[in-house]
Amino acid sequence: MNKRKLAKVYRTDIKNLPEKFLLLGFPGNGLIGTFTISYLISHLQMKLVGDINHPDMPPTLFVENGEVLSPIRIYQKDNIYAIISDIPVFPEIASDFVASIAEFCLKSKINRVVVPSGVDTQSTDNKDLKTYGLATDESFEKIMYENDIPKFISGSIIGTDATVILTFKNYKIPLLMMYTSCHPFFPDPQASVAAISSLAKILKIQVDTSDIQKRIDYLKIQHKNLMQETLDALQPEKQLPSKIPPIYR
């Protein structure tokens, strides 16, 4: 059996706080995770506290205003952490990558993980936008009920999302996947507005979404290359059966 190659997590300024949330956003259906987490990081003025590297990831760095940034970064404000990836998480490294984050949660005593994602719907009508919750823990079920977030009842989950759920379940770290209906193959910032509003309710914070709503068209163009790269990276997963297999109970 091959030795696991865990991604290295570099922490620079992390405090231990009693109850802690981790928000995790990576490119996927409609780039919902990317839009939602990056907007919250900006809106809450979260502080960059570290980054994540993996030896099997293509070496990539971004430079913004002269500052070198890793594509996968950790932010913090008070009891909320956020990890955002600006590059697709390739299926080959997803398991190690998510296990590294679970280890980070244990070390940092993070006891709530929330992951916004997108779910394919045939309708592109904005009136149909809804966020569904899938929890691995009773405490999150209660939070969903209190905040009128409907339960994700049935469907198949593949790829990195499935890896996230299985990993956090195995590590016994409470996880809430938030699935917002979206166009899966085009950037969908409009749908991410619904995701941001639902996430704000979970975190008990106020978030003004007017800025993202003003820039919907620009965000779609700005993120089209990331969407294409994400589809290219995840294309083999999309060819798996999308219908729910019969489950005998």
Q: Rule CB under 8 A: which residues touch other proteins?
A: 63, 124-126, 183, 185-187, 190, 216-218, 220-222, 224, 227-228, 231, 235, 238
Nearer residue to other proteins within complex by CB, 73 or 183 = 183
Q: Phi and psi dihedrals of 61, rounded to 5?
A: -135, 150
Nearer residue to other proteins within complex by CB, 1 or 63 = 63
Nearer residue to other proteins within complex by CB, 166 or 231 = 231
The amino acid at 59: P
CB neighbour class for 92 (10 Å; exposed up to 12, middle 13-18, buried from 19): exposed
DSSP symbol at 151: B
Nearer residue to other proteins within complex by CB, 157 or 207 = 157
The answer to whether 159 and 237 have CB atoms below 8 angstroms apart is yes
Give min distance, CB of 116 to other proteins, in A: 21
Give min distance, CB of 104 to other proteins, in A: 32
Displacement of CA 120 from its chain's centroid (Å): 16
The amino acid at 2: N
Per DSSP bridges, beta strands 72-77 and 80-85 are antiparallel
Give min distance, CB of 51 to other proteins, in A: 21
The answer to whether 72 and 51 have CB atoms below 8 angstroms apart is yes
Give min distance, CB of 220 to other proteins, in A: 4
C-alpha triplet 127, 131, 133: angle, nearest 5°: 155
Nearer residue to other proteins within complex by CB, 145 or 218 = 218
The answer to whether 199 and 114 have CB atoms below 8 angstroms apart is yes
In angstroms, rounded to a whole number, what is the distance separating the alpha carbons of residues 219 and 159?
Answer: 25
Nearer residue to other proteins within complex by CB, 2 or 122 = 122
Give min distance, CB of 195 to other proteins, in A: 17
Give min distance, CB of 224 to other proteins, in A: 5
Paired with 119 in beta bridges are 181
